[in-house]
Structures are given as structure tokens and as C-alpha cells.
Structure 1
């Protein structure tokens, strides 16, 4: 039996894991890098740093597993979506890697959203108009850096940069291409309207390939750095979101993946492309009968981390000053569990970093609503946790209008480590929650695609039976009915505040306050060195 490497290139680190054909982990490693945020709204990375991290993570995983070069059957790639960089004719970077967290194209996004063209583009591409999108980033670059825009040979994602370094091909899979806002859902080619809008010829973008595309003939120096044989094939793979669904086994209708790491996402597969009449959700290509539909939310575990750092961990005072973050998390979760559902009338809108789905409102801001003298630390802690889940539910509700009601929610990410928080999700949503024992879901999904491309499995269902279930939560119906009242109020409070969010956001920008979005890595609290966040 051969071994397969699942490579997961995230916002703050790259992880590599070796799996056998049954999906068991043989070894793994990761390498971190910073997200560069030199000014408000700007979020970039050095592509060379990510390339080094890929090499280091794979080399570390090979060493950890004690694997020989000839044992690796294939490498599958998972990568974060929405990155963009310009390169010259020799493949040298002309810009840093602009990440999805970069908000400098907010004006271009707002202009598109206000016009009929934005709605048409969403229908055609399945990608909501938002500053995260490479489409709006290209419009911003053309406006702000016209000379560079004209001189650039190509505009690519990090996956294309990596595959060009390894194999001399600027290739990107349909999953990553679909998240650019420029892939036509019907033809799976670059959409003509977006090409005209950006003034780009297709040759200045990457080569679109299936997720099972095979690459061979690796650069020998890079192969040596990674400890791989140069003949080791690589498989294109897909986006981290789609592969997380594969990794947890959320493959069929009615199976919805809820991932809450630093940020969050709700995703499921559909058999055909589906867009939302209100533009609340994305629709990304994956395979002919598997299309990823769902939505990301900016504020997951980062909201609870913010609460802990600002209001629980006091580094200047005695006991709490020495309190470790994990202990602080356990303490506030236990305190929160002592408060009844609804936090006795305290609501939290968790939009500390603006919001993507379902509102796509970069100006949204965080709000505690209903606070009285009665409310203490435990109430605010529970309200923060509930607010994150209310935001997740707004995405799940939008998704259900497209793909039918979810019978099961598959939980992953840092929040899934907390039984209290996952039970809260079951109660708040009124849906069974399953927590699978899938370590690093996106990496496992990448390895699964490599196995399928290599013929080791016929479908991802072949691996699902081997995924162990850690626990299952059934909803408490009495709590669910309570939450229904608070959830209705949560949505109404947002709608009431929506008209004034732009005004407070403008005032904050005028004072230099930074509001970067958070990354979607599957960690609850990344270290300060790793997190700005996305």
C-alpha cells in the first residue's frame, strides 16, 4: 500500500500529513508564516515564505512518518481561496500575495454591488461581490497601479505559483478558479463579462484543470528539499473549504459541514450549480455532480478570543495575569454553561471584523444588546458564544433555502473541541450535531482526492466508513424554542443597525482603527505571531 500526502496551505500555516489508503495518519508536520498587515485593510503574504513552508512541512511530515521517497503514491493540494498576485514573464512576483482578507478593493466591490452588473456576475459565477474576491482586487489594481497592471504577464493564485515552481505550469483547479468570481458556472471557463470588465485576455490568467489533474516531472531541487522522488505525482486538489467537507464526510444532501476555527463556514454539496435569489451564498465548482454551496462568516473563535483577551485575562493582576489562554477558555466556557439559553436577555452581534455571508457587509460591527446591571462576566461569555452561532445559523438558513433542510450538522474546527459549544449549536439550530474524529479535515480531503485520482478509491464514500464519530448531540427542544425567540430578535437588531454601520465604520477608518477579517484556519486561537487575522 502506498502513502498519500495531504497538503493544506492555509492563511497562517501550511500543514502536511501522510495517510495510508485507509485514511490512517502515518505522520505530519506544519510550518507557520505571518500575515502582513502594514496598514488598515491591507493583508498580504510573501509567496516565497509560503513556498518555503510547503517544502518544510512536507519534509517534516516525511521525517515524522519515517517514510522513504518511493513510498509516496501522490500529493494532493488544499489551498485557501481568493489569493491574487502579479508575476512577470519569468514567473517572478511583481506584488506580494494579496489574501482574501485584504479589503482595499471595498470601493470597487460596493460599486459593483450597487449596479445590475453585480447581480448578473453573481448569477454567472456563483461568487458574491465582496473585497475578498480576486475580481474586485483586479479592478483595484488596475485603478491604483495601472503601469504594473499592464506590465504583469499573469495574475495568479498561490496554487498556480506553486505548481509553476514545481512543474512549470500556471494551473489552478476549478474549485479555486470558481472562487475568483471570474469562472463561468455553465462553461467552467473564464467568464467573458469579467474578462471585459478587467480588460484581461484569458492568457493572462491561469490554466483551469479538474481537481484530479495529475502533474509529473517535479523540479529536482525542490523535490530534494521535500524529501520526495522527482517522479512523485501531484494532484491539483481543491479549495480548503470543499476539501473540509470531504474530510469530515459531509458528502450528500442533508449533510452540512459547520466549521468554526478563527472564522467560520457552513457548506454542503449539491448535484448541480445553485445560486441564491438574494445573493447570500456562494456556489463553487468541484466535480460534475458535486457543487459546493454555502457561506463564510468572518467571526468565529476570534470573537471569543477577543472577549477573553479584553475582559477575562488581566495580565497586570495576580492570578488572572498568570492564567494561560487554554485555562481562560475552559473557565469562561464553564461559566457560560451556568447561564440559561439566551444569556438572560443579552445578545451579541459578533461582527467585529465586518461580515461576509449572508449579508456581505464589510461595514458591520460588533454589538452587545440588552445589557443591564444584572449581567456579569458569565452572561457576556455565553452571549459571545451564542452570537457566533446565531451568525452561523443565518448562513445555514440561507443554505437550506437552496439545498433543503439539513438533517445533520458535521462539526469541525477548534469549536468542536468543546462539548458545551457543540451542544449549544444543536440546541440553537434544532438539528443533530455530529463531531467526527477527523484530524485536519482539509488535508485529509486533499489526500482523498489524490487517492481517487490515483485509483486507490472509487469515491470519497469509500473512506467515510473509516471516520470515527467522537460524539453526537441531539437538540433539547425546550432550549430550541427559547432560542427561536432570541434568534428572531438577533436578526431584527442587525436590520435595525444596518443603516448606521457605515457611519461608525467611516469614523473608525478616520481614526486609523484596523478591522482585518479573520482567517479560516481550523484552530480556535492561533498564536499572536500567526494571527492578525484574515
Structure 2
């Protein structure tokens, strides 16, 4: 029997707890899902109380599945946290909720992000805080709340993120780790404290925000009833941890110079670790904190696995249904269809901007499109083009990263897409680099757990991760495929810059159309003919 460490990841659609041995072996895990609330255009919220209960359930079930006890040899010695970035919750003076958790995917601050960028010297705020000016950031969300929800803003005594709320419910105090804080657009990277000018722009004070603490900060003294519910000793240390992006880099052992971690889940990101904060003069990349001497630069994309899901549900419904009837995973079936088509999809490109886009363009008005459709194209070409488009889009972040830090080498791939040999090979061919898939797919949870070991002086450095991460697949570029992608990649990357006005006009039309209800149900219109 051995001691156990728990890595908890509070994600956008679910909370996952993974129980590891101290050597990084997975013992058990439990996932609790929750809905994303999207009842109005641009809205993407979640119920904080539902997420808090999901955290409790996830931990309790993982502890139970790992056969851990409160005392004895097989006990939990630490719980450490990862969480999604950019969430905002407004609370009153009694810590009652005034809003749901407004997530990174919420786009209602789009107008204010443009105004901050153009009218309020947004690039200078970015250079100090490391968070690009975009509707995802709490800076822009709070500006939107102040001007578009003034009653809520006036009543708010505190603004916090979802992990801060969970820790408040567990321990009764308000702290935020430097990593989450560095993703708010409100945190000065050099001073490691709230940025006075950003707060002045919003008309708020540091007293309305949580106390910034290092990612290694930990707490003890759980309420006895909560501890019993979780199956933990009340003195079990809870490490506040970091954001999911930087912990994913740690969890795949991409923490050395020149190593790049690429993640594609629902969305996606590309990140690399440097030793001091660094921002891009053109505002293309983020810079987030991990621990002292470890900063993560990179770029996130809105469009990753959600594109494959859209293909499954909207473009290939018949094929997906047939796969289910045959007992085959629809994604596997669609991948096999895409494999029938040569690289480049016979000259068909797909821009996967279905949810606007973040890096490197940071434009919420971008929209998806097929480009180059001809009569010789069929559904199989569209499926392949969609998969290639996600990778082309991720590639567009690489020049921004390399402009800052120089050439990169090996790529570590993680997330749901890494299970697909086709997507992994596409990445190697498009990026023209070796792609390695680590054994552990729970990168953020493992990263959180290893950070917990370091925080509690149970590991001398973060380098212990190298003994915990194996490699299951390696892909090298195929020269013939890379040559095809070399011809198509410049076309893919040039189009968004040429269509800025068209994107803006079309997205405005879509926003207005979403607010207009049809005067007569569609079925009635059909029956009247």
C-alpha cells in the first residue's frame, strides 16, 4: 500500500479528480459534469454552487474508488488544484452570489474589449498583465458588468473566480493563486500584485479582489463534516495550485526550453515555459505564472474538439448514427472516412472559427468557413478539411511564440485529439516536428499533484515529473505530406487578415438575427403551402 495524492481539475464542462500514487501511477478517477448556461447570445455561464458540489462529489468518489482511508498506509496526503481560467463571479457583502460564474467562453464583453484596446491604451495593460485584451478576460468582463449591468456592479463587494469560490466554501477565506490571477488582465506580472491602473479603469479596489498567493500556498483545517463527506482527515493539506494551462505543460513534462505542449480538448492551446515574464509587442500571446522561475507563454484557441463534435452532429449525422448502431465510436468512424482522402483534402480549406477566435488574432467576430469548395469535393473532403483546419489554426500561434523565444523543438500532445493517430500525424506533418504523446492523458491533474508534492517539500523540484510521464506514441513528419501542407498553410493563414471587415459585418448580422424571433412557427409556414 502507498500514500495517495489527489489532483483536482475544475474544468469548463466537468470537474475531474484523479488519485495517483506518489510515483504518478493512476489509481482511480471520478468525473462530475455540469451544464454551460447559454440562454442569450454570447452568454456562457455556470452555477457556482453546482460546481462546488461537483468538486466535493468528485473528490469523495475518487477517494472511495482508490480505497483510501483517513489513517493508515493508504491515505490521502495532499489535494492539489487545477482550474479553468478567466471566470468572474460577483458577490455581495455577505458573500452571497450576485451572478453565476461568467466563463472564458462568454462573449458579451466583445464591444468593451474593442474599446479597451482602442480607447483605453489596452496594449499597455496587456504588457503589464500578460493577458490579451479579449472578451474572455475578467478585465473586459468587469468593464461590461460596470456599464451593462450597473445594478449588479454597484452591489458587488467582491469579484472572484471559480477556484477562489470553492476554496472560500472549504476554508472561509479569499485567496487567489498567482497563476489564476495572471490570467485576469488585472495582475501586474512584475510586482506580483493587482495592477493599480487596471483597477482604476474599472473603478474597483484591491479589497474587492482575493489576496494573491503563490501556487504553492496550502491550507489545512477542513470542517469536520466536510472532511467526513470527502473521506479525508481534516488536516489533509489542500494546495491552491495553478491554472489548467500551465499545469498541463507540467503534466506532460514540457517545462524545459524549446519544448512545446499542445492541447486539444473542447478548445485548444499551445504553450512553452520560460524563466521570466515576457509579453509580445503585437499582443498575440499570453504570459501566465506557474512558480518562481517558471512562466508560460503561448496562445489559446476557441476551436478544437468542438469542431469535430460539430462535424459529427451537423455534417455527418447519418454516418454517426450508423456507427452507433454498429457499436463503433462515431469519432473513430469519421476519422476512417477522413483517412480515405489524401492530405490537403484536394485543395479544400476549413477555417474553424465557429466560436470566434483567440490567439493569435484575438477577434471574437471571426467566423468559420470552407474555402475552395468545388464540384469534385464530397463530404469526406469536408471532414478531413475540418480536422486539418484545427491543426492549421494551432500552427498560426507558433510564429508568435518563436518570435519571442526562438526556435522550438519537440511537441508534447495531449487532450482528446491525441487518441487519434490521424490527428497526431497531421500535427507532425503540418508543424514539421516530432510529436510525442505522453502516457498520462490527465495532464492538468497530474501537474496539479506534482505541484502539490513540491509545495509540501515532498519533491525537491518540479523535475520529478520526468519520472512519471511515459511516451505512448511518437510521430515524425512525412516529407510528402509536409510538402503539400507547405503549399496550403500560407493560403490558410492569409485569409483571416483579408476578411476583417466582412467578419465584423457578418457577426453583427448574426447577433441581430439571434434577437429576432420568427413571427410564425416554421411548421405553420410549411403547412400553409
CA shift for structure 1 position 221: 2.4
CA distance in 1, matches of 2:318, 2:481: 33
Distance 1:280 1:513, change over 3 A: farther
Q: Could you say which residue in structure 2 is the equivalent of 1:16? A: 17
CA shift for structure 1 position 27: 1.5
Q: Could you say which residue in structure 2 is the equivalent of 1:150? A: 154
**Which moved further from structure 2: 440-449 or 1-10?**
1-10
Which residue, out of 442, 452, 455, partners 2:454?
452
Q: Could you say which residue in structure 2 is the equivalent of 1:166? A: 170
CA shift for structure 1 position 41: 0.6
CA shift for structure 1 position 481: 2.1
Q: 1:54-89, CA deviations, whole angstroms, 9 ceiling, x for partnerless residues?
A: 110001001100100231111101010001111122
CA contact (8 A) 2:323 2:329 kept: no
Q: Could you say which residue in structure 2 is the equivalent of 1:98? A: 102
CA distance in 2, matches of 1:405, 1:115: 35
Q: Could you say which residue in structure 2 is the equivalent of 1:507? A: 509
Q: Could you say which residue in structure 2 is the equivalent of 1:73? A: 77
Residue 188, structure 1, aligned to residue 189, structure 2? no
When the two structures are aligned, how many residues end up with a matched partner? 512
CA shift for structure 1 position 513: 7.8
Q: 1:219-273, CA deviations, whole angstroms, 9 ceiling, x for partnerless residues?
A: 2222222111111110110001111111111111111000011111001111111
Paired residue secondary structure (2:188) = coil
Paired residue secondary structure (2:105) = coil
Q: 1:385-444, CA deviations, whole angstroms, 9 ceiling, x for partnerless residues?
A: 110000000012211211222211100001100111101100111010000111311111
Q: Could you say which residue in structure 2 is the equivalent of 1:356? A: 358
**Which moved further from structure 2: 335-344 or 186-195?**
335-344
Paired residue secondary structure (1:339) = coil
CA distance in 1, matches of 2:263, 2:492: 21
CA contact (8 A) 2:159 2:209 kept: yes
CA shift for structure 1 position 477: 2.2
Q: Could you say which residue in structure 2 is the equivalent of 1:341? A: 343
Pairwise CA RMSD of aligned residues? 1.7
Which residue, out of 302, 308, 323, partners 2:306?
302
CA distance in 1, matches of 2:20, 2:237: 15
Q: Could you say which residue in structure 2 is the equivalent of 1:518? A: none
CA distance in 2, matches of 1:8, 1:117: 35
CA distance in 2, matches of 1:454, 1:321: 47
**Which moved further from structure 2: 338-347 or 239-248?**
338-347
CA distance in 2, matches of 1:221, 1:107: 46
**Which moved further from structure 2: 71-80 or 399-408?**
399-408
Q: Could you say which residue in structure 1 is the equivalent of 2:241? A: 237
CA contact (8 A) 1:313 1:328 kept: no
Q: Could you say which residue in structure 2 is the equivalent of 1:483? A: 485
Distance 1:335 1:318, change over 3 A: closer
CA contact (8 A) 2:323 2:333 kept: no
CA distance in 2, matches of 1:122, 1:102: 20
CA distance in 1, matches of 2:494, 2:441: 38
CA shift for structure 1 position 115: 3.2
Please list, as runs of the form range in 1=range in 2, the aligned pairs for 1:244-263 lying within 5 A after superposition.
Answer: 244-263=248-267
Distance 1:323 1:504, change over 3 A: farther
Distance 1:313 1:513, change over 3 A: farther
Paired residue secondary structure (1:309) = helix
Q: TM-score, normalised by structure 2?
A: 0.94
Residue 117, structure 1, aligned to residue 121, structure 2? yes
CA distance in 1, matches of 2:43, 2:315: 27
Q: 1:310-353, CA deviations, whole angstroms, 9 ceiling, x for partnerless residues?
A: 121239x98468466x5332222122222222111111111011
CA distance in 1, matches of 2:388, 2:80: 36
Distance 1:33 1:110, change over 3 A: same
Distance 1:383 1:8, change over 3 A: same
CA distance in 1, matches of 2:440, 2:462: 14
Paired residue secondary structure (1:258) = strand
CA distance in 1, matches of 2:230, 2:87: 24
Distance 1:461 1:513, change over 3 A: farther
Q: 1:166-204, CA deviations, whole angstroms, 9 ceiling, x for partnerless residues?
A: 111101100000000000011010001111001111111
Residue 430, structure 1, aligned to residue 398, structure 2? no
Residue 474, structure 1, aligned to residue 476, structure 2? yes
Residue 211, structure 1, aligned to residue 208, structure 2? no
| 5+ residue gaps, structure 1 | 515-534
Paired residue secondary structure (1:308) = helix
CA contact (8 A) 2:324 2:330 kept: no
Q: Could you say which residue in structure 2 is the equivalent of 1:384? A: 386
| 5+ residue gaps, structure 2 | 517-529
Q: Stretches of 4+ moved more than 6 A in 1?
A: none
CA distance in 1, matches of 2:167, 2:62: 20
CA contact (8 A) 1:272 1:290 kept: yes
Q: Could you say which residue in structure 2 is the equivalent of 1:62? A: 63
Which residue, out of 65, 68, 87, partners 1:83?
87
Paired residue secondary structure (1:434) = strand
CA distance in 2, matches of 1:83, 1:185: 19
Q: Could you say which residue in structure 1 is the equivalent of 2:521? A: none
Higher relative contact order at CA 8 Å, sep ≥6: structure 1 or structure 2? 1
CA distance in 2, matches of 1:302, 1:323: 24
Residue 264, structure 1, aligned to residue 268, structure 2? yes
Q: 1:290-324, CA deviations, whole angstroms, 9 ceiling, x for partnerless residues?
A: 10100100111111221122121239x98468466
CA contact (8 A) 2:351 2:492 kept: yes
